[in-house]
Structure 1
Amino acid sequence: MVAADNLQKMPETASFNLAAYLQERKKLCEAALDESLPVIYPEKIYESMRYSLLAGGKRLRPILCLATCEMMGGTIEMAMPTACAVEMIHTMSLIHDDLPAMDNDDYRRGRLTNHKVYGEDIAILSGDGLLAYAFELVALRTPESVARERVLQVIVHLGRASGAAGLVGGQVVDLESEGKSDIPLETLNFIHNHKTAALLEACVVCGGILAGASPEDVQRLSRYAQNIGLAFQIIDDILDITATQEQLGKTAGKDLVAQKVTYPSLWGIEKSRAKAQELIESACAELEPFGESAQPLKALAQFITSRNH
């Protein structure tokens, strides 16, 4: 469940309660993820995949996918396989990021990282298994009522977001930039537009595509998602400095130890917060044409800058 202290800070309006919305949608996503990945032979790999996939978290990415599909006139049922897929891809990236060859972290979401429990070899294979299964899930589980052309577009977007043109490329530049104090803002933006924002963008855009969004609407959704993705990373950078390990569920202060250039290191904390809020306002402006049906996505955008873990 979402932490109670964070729920109290979530933006609400008289007609929309984000706390209740997140709890309901998270419950749906958790059930779908659990059902999608049973333990079969060889049990060890499936147990490892489930260990990280079902370890909690906000489930922000699948919820964004569902919310966008609904906003565009679709249903939860048509978007749920893709929502589960983006969470599997995200989980893969966390498993691999935590490896000793990458960020070398012992804790994730308040418990030992995958490689600390199952070993580095199984952790690598677990991430590989989740990535491959994500595409199988979209192809096989998306209802037949959704045009196959839309499913193909979703697969293309997910492939681009999870590969060298997306989070893998961002991670490479991030690793190359460690320990360097002269990283320009353009490089930092590249890292996070690919490492963080690309998958968030895929969540939103794919939800729209499944519901039959027009090319113009897909562009609006893309700009919304790019803005919230960058805001999300700015807040992450701030929390790495200001939050405790208990709040984060992972090791705090790792950016400083790794000598990473971050938004607070370039701008300071207050300017970073202001920049994040500017991005959120720009994101919400993209949703104006969708009227009241955009309330969940607007509230989710505001939640990104108000979270404390």
Structure 2
Amino acid sequence: MTAHFEPTPQPDNKAVITLRATLARKISAHCPTEGPRSTAVPGMILTRRSTPTACCSATYEPHLVVFVQGQKRIDLGKTTFLCDESSLLLTSVDLPVVSQIVAATPQKPLLGMLLKFDMPTVREILSLEEFHTNEPAGTRGMAMGVTTPELLAPCLRLMDLLDAPQDIAFLSPMLHREVIYRLLRSPQGKHLRSIATLGEQSQRTARAVEWLRANYAKPLRVEELAEMARMGVSTLHHQFRSLTAMSPLQYQKHLRLHVARERMLHDGMDAASAAFDVGYESASQFNREYSRFFGQPPMRDIKSRRLAIAPEAEVAATGD
């Protein structure tokens, strides 16, 4: 059964409502067209979607997303995160997901701010005395929470830098550090801390995740992966599942299927070529696993995806 993690109901807090509305206006002004948009602030990406979308495969890298409008569903293995205007989503390790915009209109588009993490900075902040704690570290590589005034305020100041580009080089590192500090102080901070802390089992498991992410097309030998992470095979399985919501073999399979789907969709590969390209030795096995995962055979799924993307591209081109 799929687990659902719903946002905690937002209290009637005027400060949060005001800050969120202001951030939504600024994101809308600086991201007037459809899709993600890189900015002059290092590591900050803005996104806008004016219509619901079909399910899309992606690999989430370590980052924070602050949602201020609309609703997005993210499926990680059998776990579903439903993010709305009060949500933040923290990803602390590379994870293959399926995402979908479920609530967005031209009048009220989905709006969000993504901030990529600089892990050396996270570790530097964690070395400060105020972060020395005996509190158990988190084990999940993805966590959702509710935005607070303390977190929204530095996000707004980062947005303000887009109107003062001469200040970006000096001020953006300070504000990025403040965002990390506020996040580490939040209930979700334990998940980021576990990945950033050298020597933690989660950090060593993250090393195994990084290897699989870079070598998904290679044969998987769990014993070698466990040796790389400096833990036993059973411990690796337990830690890996806690962090990614799947086993190493499932992670590799999901990653291969996501990459194959994107190569068929964007590079025009046929199913057999995509299967062999991502490491499958049998096209029939690829077709079976693809159908089970995405709900229909590869080329039928790609045709459906292209039909779903066409209206989105038309909206982006016309600006409607």
Using the size of structure 1 for normalisation, the TM-score is 0.30
Higher helix share: 1
* Larger RCO (alpha carbons 8 Å, 6+ apart): 1
Please state which structure has a larger fraction of its residues in strand. 2
The structure having more radius of gyration, on CA atoms, is: 2
